Structure formats: C-alpha cells, structure tokens
Structure 1
C-alpha cells in the first residue's frame, strides 16, 4: 500500500494569507501544492491535499488549523508538508519543524527536504535562511512527522517576480516532491517522463486523467486551473466525463465572476 503524504496549501477562502506585489499567499501555495502533488504521485505516493481549491475548513483560524491537522491524522498520513509564503522583510527559503523535534524523525526529514528546496531557491538567486523550529499548530497537532515550508517573501519584488513565474513554481514543486520522496525512502524510481506504452500519456500540467484524445481541451482545462475557476478532486484528477452538479456549477461560475472582476480592478 502506498504511503500517504498530505500536502497542505496554506490559507484559502476568506483568508488570503500574506499579500504583496499583486499576489496572494493562498493562490501561490495552492499552485505549488498542486504541482508538487503531481510530481510526488510519480514516485508512487498516495498524495492528499487539505484543499484543492480556494477554500478553508472554517472561517475561524484556530478551527481551520485544527481541521488541517485532523485531516492528516484521519488519513493516517506518514508525512505532512505545509506550504506557505513569507512576508515582513527578508528573502529566500526557510523550513520549520516542531520545537523539540529537530533531533527526531521530523528533524531527519527536514534535513533532506530542506536541502532539496533550498538548492532550488539558491539556483534562482534567493538565499537559504536555514532550518528552524516553531510551535506552529499544524506541526504540534499532527501525529506524524511534519514540516512547514516558507517559500519566498511575497512582499519583496525579486521573490515575487519568481513566485509568479511558472517555471520557478515547477522547480520548487519538483524539489518538494523529490525531498518528500527521499525523506520517505521512495525515491528509487525516477520521475516518469516517458511513460510505458501501457500507461496513458498525460498531456495536462495538473491532471493525470487528461490524456491523448483530449488535446483540444487540455490547454483550456489548465487555464481554468491557473485562474482558480475550476479545480479537480485534489488527487490529480479533473474527472473529465463526470456530470457537474448545480453546486459545482455555482462554485465555478462564482470563481469565474471573481476572476473577471479582479482583472477589471473591481
């Protein structure tokens, strides 16, 4: 049975997280998490996202953080990776494990994960701010080894320019996937760049069930994802042949309206 890894895109819904340079933390963390989950599944991991769209478990911050940890605990996850974007002065990448856990299994995995992600930041010219510890709720309340990643500073021009660059987002997502796979001991198989003839070729940047024969729609599906209008199931599937419920239609239409209004500056 594949090991369950929970990826937690920080913030969401009415909680934008840090804001700066036209970016919102909740959007960037979700983009990184979706791509990291795509890469990590290629190592054979069972990846679950605490959120697959612009939502939270609760509008109450305390309840939301508790629910994210509970989600991972209920999934009996083997690893919990929370993704955030920093603010408040500074630049670069830093990682956190629970206070007192630096010499435990969480600390061992932090060493591996931090090395992979820090290298991706350094290649882009951003500094490694180091491995740290903190008493964050999602680190304290999860039953499995957990890590929180602060991936750049949204209020610094140089960091923000990279955070809106798809190639940079992919490099960070790949590093997170590689770090998690190494930390979990499932890195023996490389990323599947050339699937075997028995495996459907994936033609979407985000969904494994968008396959040959769907080329006419693949770019539109990816654009809807990038604009936050339609999301998949959080497990790397778009479900292209499923019927849309009235609830799902309402959410998609609302996201589309919000996107248009945002472009108009309203």
Structure 2
C-alpha cells in the first residue's frame, strides 16, 4: 500500500473514532511501527491530526473547526481529480459560471482550459489565479472581494453584495461536510452566507464533495440536499449514503477515482519519500 493510501486510511479512522493508536495501525496496515509514525508525522505537519503518546487524535472534532487550504489540498487527491473532471464536463462554451472557494473547485478550474468564451465568478483568489494563468483572451474572471478565511475563501458583506446582482448559468459549490438533516455545511458563518448568495445566483447548482465529507457537519448549513440540482461525489461513498442522497438531490453523479502519478507518492524511495512529498505540498 502506498503512503498516500495508508494516510487516507488513517485519516478516515481518525474521523470515525476521534483517535488512533500506532499499535492498531501496524496490525491493520501490515507495516512497521516506524512507517506508521512517519505517516502520522506527515499528517501532523499538514495539520490533519494531532500527535499524542502512542498515536494521534483528531483536530477536526468541532463544528467550527476550519482547516487551512494547504491542509485540505493534500486530501483525497484522486477523488477530487475524478470529481473535477465530471464537473468540468458540465460546462458549455459561452456560459457564465460560478466557482466557490475550495480545493475541489480549485482542482476543477484546471480542467476548464479547453472551454472557450467563459465568464467565471469566484470568491477564491486561488481559483482566480489558476484561471488567469492560462492566458486565454476569451475568458473573463470576476473576483468578488471580501475578507479572507483560513480556507482561502473571500467572504462577508462585500462578497455577498457583489453576488446578489448576478445571474449565473451554473454554480459549482465546494462544501466542508454533508450529512442527513444538516445538508451541505461549512464551519465558517460568513462563508455560509457568501456561499448561499452564490447558490442563489445559479440557474443550476452543482455541489462537488468527495466521500470523506460524508457525516461531517459544520456549524452552518449552506443548502439542503433538495436544493441541489447535481451532486458529484466519488465511488468511496458508502452504499447507504448513496441511496439517501439519490433520493434527495435531483441528480447524483458518482465519479470513479483512479490513483495516478499525481495522487501517488514519489517513487524515488519507499515510504519516507511519499511522506516527505506530501508534507512539502
């Protein structure tokens, strides 16, 4: 098993139980004590877990906990890539679209290169940078402005006001969590208000969320399941979640995640190389 795959297993277990022990992970994953400790070191450097004696605990136990962009950008890379491809396939030339802040929408922005005559509205400096770096003269990128959050979203009254007068063909919304009753949520109250304004500007609303967001609940609901036209997630989503979501969103799209060179660790060395590479991202 690759370092990336091991660390995703560890993260899933931390999210599920709140803590993991090195000895249990050694038995479960069939690797050495030192390999597990290197994995925990890499995850701790990214702010994804907190190391404790004999293991690690969750850093995301509260509904207001908000990981930074760098921490989120190394999670579920293959899944986000698959979701981004499916999302970009919905975009047609000559349309006006909105992209919320987030690492999945940021990944999606890189898949819009071949689509001409786009107008893209976003509250993410990182998404805007990706789109403008491509140098297309037939593309208009509108950045809302606002106050920057730990996850690199621009939020608050300035962002909301700029969105309320807009009418967009498609809006792609990244979320912090999705869960029954709570719907699609965020840990930041200002971001929730801004994302609601972005969603209200959409003729068609698409949520992009990998399977790890399931059962995660932020403090504020952005939209309910029934308000979403399309949910694009990945094939790691549990069967019971698929069934529930298929009944409540208008359309559920399951993207097949494939481990690629971009989501796998560097082959220049065994486990340590993968950990070092991830920590540097």
- TM-score normalised by L of structure 2: 0.29
The higher radius of gyration belongs to: 2
More strand by share: 2
- TM-score normalised by L of structure 1: 0.30
